[in-house]
Amino acid sequence: MMPTKLLRVLVKGIAPVIREYVAQELDKLRDDLGPRVKALEARPTPEHVGPWRQGTVYGPQKMVQHDGACWFALVETDTKPGASDDWRLVAKGGRDLR
């Protein structure tokens, strides 16, 4: 078994080396993840804006209701949901939706 005094000396000597190594590795992770987090935070947030209205321009990530279904705008569009590739069907209405 290692004497307590010797163990303290070893820990005291190696702790700064470990601390520096961990700090360097964390800096690398921050450098790599920072731009990724900023890009994710800059993305538009999906938002339900109610029923589709003719003549309204909807931005990407906007969701509307139309003909008993929920539609998601992939790009900025003023087209009717289902009439172009600008929209993706999210939920189709069932028999209980009128």
pLDDT digits (tens, 9 = 90+) for 41-75: 888 789 999 999 999 999 999 999 999 999 999 99
| Contact present, 66 and 80 (Cβ < 8 Å) | yes
Q: What is the pTM of this model?
A: 0.58
**Mean pLDDT throughout 28-49?**
91
| pLDDT tens per residue across span 75-89 | 999 999 999 999 999
User: Measured between alpha carbons, how far is residue 35 from residues 26, 29, 40, 49, 88 in Å?
Assistant: 15, 11, 9, 30, 29
Query: Rounded to an integer, what distance in angstroms lies between the CA atom of residue 21 and that of residue 64?
Result: 51
User: Measured between alpha carbons, how far is residue 34 from residues 22, 27, 28 in Å?
Assistant: 18, 10, 10
